Structure 1
Amino acid sequence: MSQESPAPPAARPPALAITETEAEDLVHGICFKTGPPRLLGAELEWLVLDAERPGQPLPPERLRAAHAAARALPLHSRVTVEPGGQLELSSAPATSLSGCVDSLQDDLTAVRAALLTQGLVLHGHGHDSRRPYRRLLASPRYDAMEAYFDRTGPAGRAMMCASASVQVCVDAGHEEPGILGHGRRWRLAHLLGAVLVAAFANSPAHEGPYAGWRCARQGTWADIDVGRRALAPPLDGPPRDSWTRQALDTEVMCVRSYDGEPWTMPRGITFRDWLRTGGHPGLRRPTAEDLDYHLTTLFPPVRPRGHLELRMIDAQPGDDGWLVPVAVVHALFDDAEAAETAYRVAKGLADTYGSGPAPHNPLWMSAARRGLSDPELRAAAKACFRAAAEALPRLGASAHVRETVGAFSERYVLRGRSPADDPPQPRPTAREARP
C-alpha cells in the first residue's frame, strides 16, 4: 500500500484519548474483517524513467509533471506517489480476477500513453540502481520517517526512495476454522511468502551489501528497523490477539502535529507505553486516530488492514508481468483446492528450514539470495504454480491471464529461474514503448 498520506489540516479540535483496552479492541476491529473471501485488489509500484536515457535520474520537475499527468486521467485506480517518485496504481476492490486485471490494464495503458508524450516510461523492477537516492516528497510524515530510519543505516532511505513492488490484497477470510478461515489464511500468507519472494525475485544486485542476491529488495527490508518490518506474530495462535500485541508493542515512529511543528517522538516508546503513561513528560495522550496512523507505519511482509496485504513481491518486468503474481496469489488463497495444496507445500518448507521472524529466517534469506536455484523452493514453487494453473479456470480467469501465467511458469519456475536470472536487458526506448 502506498506510504503517501494526506497532510493534516493546520488545526484540529482535540480528540478523546483512548485506554489500552480500547486500543486493543480497535486493532481487533481494524485489522481482521472476516467474511467469505470474495474481493481482490492489487497495488502496482513502478519506477518512472526517461525513455531515451533510462539510466539517468530524472529531475524533480519531470517526475512531478508525470505524476500530475497520471492523476489527471479518468482512471479506475487510485494514483499515489512513493517518496522517491515511484508511481503507484491501487485498484479498487474487485469481485473477480478479471475485474481487477482488466481495470488495471486499462489504467496502465492510459498512464503509459500520457507519460510517453513526456518522453517517460514505466519500468517494473524491484530496486532502482540509480544513485543517489533522493526523496522527492517533502512532508512531516516523510521527514519523520527518514529521521527514524537513519538511526539504523541507509536501508530505510533505499526502501523509501528506490524500491517497487506488486502488492496483492486478499480478504482475511471466515471466522470459522478451515482452509478459508482467517487463521489458516494468516498462516498461509506467512508460510508462502518465501516462495513468492523466490519465484518473483526481480531486484538482482551486482555490488554492495547484497551483491549476488536475486532479491536485493528483501535485503533492504531485512536491514531496516526490525520492529517495523520483521513482525512475526506466533502463527499457532489467534491472529487478532498476536497481531494486536505486536502492533501495540512496536515503537512509535512519530506523533502528528497539527500546528506546523515537526512530527517527533522520543526514542524507545512503544504505543503501549504511550497508552499507559503518556510516554514522556509533555506528550499528549494517544487517540484512536493516533493508533490508526501508527498502524500505517508498520511494514511487515504481511500486513492486516481489514484485508491481508502481501508485500513481499518485487515489481515485475514487461507490460503484463505484474498480473502473474496477482493471478497466482488469488488462486492459492481463494480456490479451496489450490489453497490446501499451497498450505501443505509451504508448511513442509517451514518444517525443513525452521521458523523465525520473516523476512530474516533462513527460508526467507535463501529465497532472497538464491531465488528458485534453491532446490526446496524450486520444488515448492512448481507445486504451487501447478495448483494455481489448475485453479484459474475454476476462478474464471481469461485465456490471456492463463497463458501469461503459463508462459511465466515455463520460462522461470519449471527451469528453477527467477526474473532476476535474466541477463540485463536494455530498458525500453520511446520508440519501443509506443502503444
Structure 2
Amino acid sequence: MVTSPGLDRTTELREVTGAVGHLAGICFKTGPPTLTGVELEWTVHDAADPARPVDRARLRAALGPHSPGTLDDTSPARPLRNGSTVTVEPGGQVEVSTAPRSSVAALISATEADIDELSALLGRAGLVLGRTGIDPWRAPRPVVDTPRYRAMRCVFDRHGPAGRTMMYSTAGLQVCLDVGEPAGFADRWAAVHAVGPPLVAAFATADRHAGRRTGWASARMAAWLHIDPARTRPVWSPYRPDQDPVAAWTEYVLAAPLLCVRHDGPDWTPPPGVTFADWIDGALPRPPTTDDLEYHVSTLFPPVRPRGYLEVRYLDAQPGQRWTVPLAVLAALLHRERTVRAALAVAAPVADRWHTAARYGLADPPLATAAGALLDLAREALPGLDLPTGTHEEIDSGIRQRIAAAERGHR
C-alpha cells in the first residue's frame, strides 16, 4: 500500500498527488482480517403512539449523560457500558457504534448488552426502538439541526425529496470488516460489493413509510439510490471488475461534489458542482487540508465505504435481535479466501442489480437464486466463526428462514 509520509491533518493540498497518497494511507489498512464491528441505527417512537413525533428535548432527557454533543453541547457523551458510543441522526434516529472485537461472538455479546442498556434508557422515557429500515408511521421531519445537516439538506434538495427521506426517516445496519491481506484484498473488495444486491433483497425491511406501502422492498435503499449518484453509487463495478481498489476510490473521492465546507459561520453549503479536485485546483478561496479531505470522505455514502476498514452500508435495520443474522452472514462469507471467491462467483451475475433489489427484493428470481446460494454458503462457513452453541443455533435458524424466503421468491 502507498502511504502518506509527512502528511498530517493540517497539511495543505495543492496537488492531487498529496490527496492520492493520503487517501491510500487512511482508507486501506491491509493485514490479517481479525476485527469486526457494527453500527446499528433505529428510528425512535413513542411506546403508546408510534406516529407521535419525538422531539430533541425528549431524546436528550432519555439519553442523559450518553447524549451526543449534537443534542447537548454540555453532555459528557459517555459510552454505554460495553464501549458503544451513542449518536443521534438528523431525524432523531439513534445509533450505537461498537468498538471492534476480535471475534463475532464477543461483538454480539457486548453489543446486545449495550442495546439492552439503550432500550432501558429509552423505555424509562416511554420510548422504543423501531424495527424496520424506514419510519413506517411518520413523514420526514428534522429533529437535530447543525451546520452539516443544513448543508446536506440544501445540497440534497437540488436532486429532489429523497435526501430528506434519507436524513430524517431511514435506519440502517452497518457491518465493519477488516480490509484483509494484500494478496486477497481485490477479491474481498469485489465480493463485499457483489453480494450487496442479493443481501439487500434478503434482508429488506423497509416497505412501509409514513403510513403507507411504498412499492419498494427497501424504501431506505431507494432513498439512497435517488440522492446523488456521484456520492452514493457503488465504488466497485462489475463492468470494471479489475480496477485497482485504491485507484477506484481515489477517483470517486476527487470527483464527488462537496457537500459541506466548514467554517465559523452557520452556513456550510458549498457552491454547486464544485468537486474536491476542483478545490485542490483553486476553486475556493483557501486550499483544502488533509483534514478537509477526511471530512469530505465522511460525506460520501457508497454502499461500501473504505475507512481503514470496509464499512458495509447497504443493509436495512433489522427487527429486535435479528441484526445478528446479516452480521454473521457477511462475516462468514468473508472469513476464508475460498468462501470469498465462491461468494463472488455466485453474486457476480446480479452484482449490478441494486435498484432491482431495492424495488423487488426476493420477488426478483435472479436475486432470490443468488441470495439463496449465498445464504447456503454462509451456513456452511458459519462454524468457522466459533459462536457459542446457542448463538450459532439462533443465527442458523435465522439464515434458514431467509433461505426459505429466497426459495419462495425463486418460485
Q: Structure 1 residue 403: deviation in Å?
A: 2.0
Mapped partners of 2:206, 2:324: distance in 1:
18
Evaluate the alpha carbon distance shift between residue 333 and residue 315 of structure 1 in structure 2; reply closer, same or farther with a 3 A threshold.
same
Evaluate the alpha carbon distance shift between residue 418 and residue 190 of structure 1 in structure 2; reply closer, same or farther with a 3 A threshold.
farther
Mapped partners of 1:272, 1:403: distance in 2:
50
Of 380, 403, 407, the match for 1:413: 403
Of 378, 381, 384, the match for 1:391: 381
Q: Structure 1 residue 206: deviation in Å?
A: 7.2
Contact kept, 8 Å, 1:49 with 1:121, in 2: the verdict is: yes
Q: State the match for 1:312 in structure 2.
A: 314
Question: Does residue 283 of structure 2 align to residue 279 of structure 1?
Answer: yes
Q: State the match for 2:200 in structure 1.
A: 197
Mapped partners of 1:118, 1:209: distance in 2:
27
Of 147, 155, 171, the match for 1:140: 147
Q: Which moved more, 1:335-344 or 1:165-174?
A: 335-344
Q: State the match for 2:340 in structure 1.
A: 339
Contact kept, 8 Å, 1:227 with 1:251, in 2: the verdict is: yes
Question: Does residue 61 of structure 2 align to residue 60 of structure 1?
Answer: no
Residue pairs, 1:349-360, within 5 angstroms: 349-350=350-351, 355=352
Mapped partners of 2:105, 2:87: distance in 1:
23
Contact kept, 8 Å, 1:55 with 1:130, in 2: the verdict is: yes
Q: Match of 1:395, as an amino acid?
A: L
Q: Structure 1 residue 369: deviation in Å?
A: 1.6
Mapped partners of 1:169, 1:417: distance in 2:
29
Residue pairs, 1:183-332, within 5 angstroms: 183-205=186-208, 211-233=214-236, 234-257=240-263, 259-276=264-281, 278-280=282-284, 283-318=285-320, 320-332=321-333
The Cα offsets for residues 319-370 of structure 1, whole Å up to 9 and x where unpaired, read as x1111111111000123343232111012334xxxx4xxxxxxx12221122
Runs of 4+ in 1 over 4 A off after TM superposition: 69-73, 206-210
Aligned to 2:235, the other structure's residue is in SS state coil
Aligned to 2:181, the other structure's residue is in SS state coil
| TM-score normalised by structure 2 residue count | 0.89
Of 74, 77, 87, the match for 1:80: 87
Evaluate the alpha carbon distance shift between residue 374 and residue 98 of structure 1 in structure 2; reply closer, same or farther with a 3 A threshold.
same
Of 22, 35, 38, the match for 1:39: 35
Q: Structure 1 residue 201: deviation in Å?
A: 0.3
The Cα offsets for residues 62-116 of structure 1, whole Å up to 9 and x where unpaired, read as 1222333644543421111111111111111111101111110111111111211
Mapped partners of 2:268, 2:331: distance in 1:
38
Q: State the match for 1:368 in structure 2.
A: 358
Aligned to 1:310, the other structure's residue is in SS state strand
Contact kept, 8 Å, 2:193 with 2:234, in 1: the verdict is: no
Q: Match of 1:394, as an amino acid?
A: G
Contact kept, 8 Å, 1:191 with 1:343, in 2: the verdict is: yes
Q: Match of 2:148, as an amino acid?
A: R
Contact kept, 8 Å, 1:47 with 1:86, in 2: the verdict is: yes
Q: Structure 1 residue 225: deviation in Å?
A: 1.3
Mapped partners of 2:280, 2:258: distance in 1:
11
The Cα offsets for residues 250-305 of structure 1, whole Å up to 9 and x where unpaired, read as 11112110x335213211111111112x114xx21111111111000000001111
| TM-score normalised by structure 1 residue count | 0.84
Q: Which runs of 5+ in 2 are unaligned?
A: 1-8, 68-77
Evaluate the alpha carbon distance shift between residue 265 and residue 59 of structure 1 in structure 2; reply closer, same or farther with a 3 A threshold.
closer
Q: Structure 1 residue 308: deviation in Å?
A: 0.7
Q: Which runs of 5+ in 1 are unaligned?
A: 1-12, 356-362, 420-435
Contact kept, 8 Å, 2:56 with 2:144, in 1: the verdict is: no
Count of matched residue pairs: 387
Mapped partners of 1:369, 1:208: distance in 2:
18
Contact kept, 8 Å, 2:13 with 2:19, in 1: the verdict is: no
